[in-house]
Amino acid sequence: MIRRSPQKWQQLIDAQEASDMTIAQFCHTHHINQSTFYLQRKKRKDLLLPQTTEQWLPIDTVASHRADNRQWQIELTLPNGVVLNMSTDG
C-alpha cells in the first residue's frame, strides 16, 4: 500500500479533474483504489468548508433588528391535512 501525503492527494485530485478521464479510468491508470480516491477527495472538500458552530440566529436577535412592525400572516396546508397558521396577531 502506497502512503501519499495530503499534498500528493491534492495533486492527484486536481490531475483527475483536469483530465478527460472518469474517476474509474484515472484510478485504474494510476493504480489507486477508487474508494480511497473518493475518501481523500471528500476529506479535501471538508477541509475547505467553513466550520460554523451555529447556523441559526435566535428569534429575539432577528426581531431586535427589525425596524418596521407590519402585520403578517402565513398559512401552510400540508398534504396530510394539517394546517399551520402563523401571524403577528396575538
Q: Are 69 and 89 in contact (CB under 8 A)?
A: no
Q: Quick one: pLDDT at residue 24?
A: 97
H/E stretch holding 12 reads: helix 6-18
- At 45 the pLDDT is 86
pLDDT of residue 41: 94
Residue 73: what pLDDT?
A: 85
Asked whether the whole model's pTM tops 0.85, one would answer no
Q: List, in order, residues 6 or more apart from 2 with CB less than 8 Å away.
A: 31
∠ Cα 25 32 5 (to 5°):
130
* Residue 87 DSSP label: E
Q: What is the mean pLDDT of each run of 10 residues along the chain (90 residues)?
A: 90 95 96 96 82 65 58 86 81
| Closest to 6 (Cα-Cα) out of 35, 57, 46, 55 | 46
